[in-house]
Chain A
Amino acid sequence: MDPRTTVINERLKRIGRIIAVSSGKGGVGKSLVATTLALALSRRGCKVGLFDLDFTSPSTHLIMGVKDVQPKEDKGIVPPVVKGLEYMSLVYYSADYTTPLRGADVSNALIELLSVTLWSALDFLVIDMPPGIGDAVLDLIRLVKRIEFLIVTTPSQLAFETVKKLVSLLQNLKVPIIGVVENMKMSKAKSIRRQTETLGLKFLAEIPYDLKVEGAIGDEAKLLDTVLAQKVKEIAKGITEIARN
């Protein structure tokens, strides 16, 4: 028997809410939204952790400009505090090397990190998920009892078709969905909003395509000054108000 899975919910028990930021496909800005959401919640005075589970293409460390930090080892792994967030990523161990992982390896690495990471008492743990409905999504649903999802899409119908599949999976498994964010919006079309509401989900925000974002990569202060961040701060406000009520 693999003993590691038995302690995962014990490790997470001091965390208020666990939010997996997910998408049906890649390239929709999921990692940017996840990182900005974690920073915005933190700036509202919440204790927040950010966990990058996009093992094969991690990017949250690049978005925040994380350098020269490592977790501490103390009867487990204690994530360092980076930009006000308790921050965990496989990059501490894989560095900048390409790390090709098949499904079983993704599951094993995910179980390892969930079972040995010692988070403190947090209000929120934001998880940057890999895109799609692969092993990491299925494992998190299986292993983390209180997981809830926030879904990022673009105005593209191609992206939203993949969101429908993710939503169908989550709804069938009765996993809570906070809502859908439409990122990189370049028109006034309401199609994604309408389709989101037809699925019975909350439409959280439309984020205009923001040219400033690329120049803010690696600098969290600049990132929090973008239009994207203004929209994500509104989402964070809504989430904290739900948490308080």
Chain B
Amino acid sequence: MHEWALAEAIITAAQQIAEKEKLHEIKEVTIKIGELQQVEEDILCFALSQLKPASFKNAEFHIAKAKTTLKCRVCGNTWLFSKNKLDEDTAEAIHFVPEVAHAYIKCPKCGSPDFEITEGRGVWLENIKGVR
């Protein structure tokens, strides 16, 4: 249910952009979700539908999923994150704070925990379209 807090942040951010761009009615909001955070898409969509204000009444929310790419800072190895390799508790910890991945995941090539999350960390507001 932590998706509700993220949905609230998305709506607040979209409202701020709409105000800045002088959009009276929002038609489309595109959100990117990084695989690392394992956000439950159904819960996020439901929360968005419940939290949206009047100016978002006819807005469509598009959710694009992004694979998570990790790059080792020591040996340069690049690999894709896979939730399937984690036990339930670890996956849940990373769901709440993706950075704790550094406590549980190591570079499969050299074993270093010093890696960069180059893509697909968490929730990102990609685009917003509306009518002025």
Contact = CB atoms under 8 A, between A and B. Distances in A.
Interface in B7-54: 8-10, 12-14, 16-17, 47
A73 B1 contact: yes
A76 B12 contact: no
B5 A76 contact: yes
A90 B123 CA distance: 19
B17 to A, nearest CB: 7
B93 A74 contact: no
A173 interface: no
B96 interface: yes
A111 to B, nearest CB: 10
Contacts of A242: none
A195 interface: no
Nearest to A7: B9
A101 B113 CA distance: 9
A108 B122 CA distance: 10
B104 A97 contact: yes
A95 interface: yes
A98 interface: yes
B59 interface: no
B100 A93 contact: yes
Given A94-B103, A116-B6, A4 B123 contact: yes
A98 B122 CA distance: 22
A10 interface: yes
B65 interface: no
Nearest to A113: B97
Contact of B9 (A77, A92, A113, A115): A115
Contact of A108 (B5, B99, B114): B99
Given A3-B125, A4-B123, A75-B5, A93 B97 contact: yes
A1 B17 contact: yes
Nearest to B14: A3
A135 to B, nearest CB: 12
A77 B103 contact: no
A10 B100 contact: no
Contact of B10 (A3, A74, A97, A116): A3
Interface of A: 1-4, 6-7, 10, 55, 73-77, 90, 92-95, 97-102, 105-106, 108-109, 112-113, 115-116, 118
9 contacts: A3-B123, A4-B123, A6-B16, A75-B2, A76-B5, A92-B96, A94-B93, A97-B103, A97-B104
